[in-house]
Amino acid sequence: MKFKVNLAWEDIIQFQIFHTMNTTMNKWLKYLFLIVGIVLISISLMGLILIDIGIIYIICCIIGIITLIFPFTFYPLLVKYIVISSIPKDSIKHMIGTNIYELGEKRISIKTELTYGEMDYKVIKRFVNEKDYLYIYNTSISALVIPKRDLDNEVIQKIITSLERKMNSME
């Protein structure tokens, strides 16, 4: 099966953001922020009710509230900023542009405007079907990025079915 997509710099950025936000460490970090926030708010409320000292507990409560909302509001923005600033466009220019993928019997062939490569199905670590992208991981941090915007639903379903079948037959 052969298909063609146009890969943009923004697609690589979206993959890096997705990958960063879905790591195990990042998930535990969110829980840690929630726990710290709840503890800080609890301590500050108990201090305000029982001791009535005031300003220290109010500051502690404000920090607790910020800690509670940080993982859901500011952290994704921070990750996006870090990812964008850490990936120079020149370093990924060989991936940008028209990419032609061919799902063969034993491997995936990838032809870009500047390079050609192949990936055996047995090296695929995992396959992720996101809303706008398909990610085919060949290592824990590297993946083929396939934007769905250039493909119709029938082709996307064929790709998913083919990859799942190939990955299951390799186990």
- Tens of pLDDT, residue by residue over 40-96, are 888 777 776 666 666 777 777 788 888 888 877 888 888 888 888 887 777 677 778
pLDDT at 106: 86
Residue 61 to residue 43: CA distance in whole angstroms: 8
- How many Å separate Cα 107 from the centre of its chain? 24
Question: For the segment 2-27, what is each residue's pLDDT rounded down to a tens digit?
Answer: 889 988 888 888 888 888 887 777 77
Contact (Cβ atoms closer than 8 angstroms) between residue 167 and residue 121: yes
CATH 3.90.550 holds for 2-6+105-170: no
pLDDT of residue 16: 86
DSSP run (H or E) holding 136: strand 133-137
pLDDT of residue 48: 67
pTM over 0.85? The answer is no
Confidence of residue 35 (pLDDT cuts 50, 70, 90): confident
Which candidate, 124, 20, 2, places its Cα nearest to that of 77?
20
What are 124-167's pLDDT values in tens digits? 888 899 999 999 998 888 888 999 998 989 988 988 888 888 87
Res 43: pLDDT:
78
Check pLDDT > 80 for residue 123.
Answer: yes
- 111 has pLDDT over 80: yes
Long-range pairs for 139-145: beta carbons < 8 A, 24 or more residues apart:
141/19, 143/15, 143/19, 144/101, 144/108, 144/110, 144/119, 145/7, 145/11, 145/12, 145/14, 145/15, 145/95
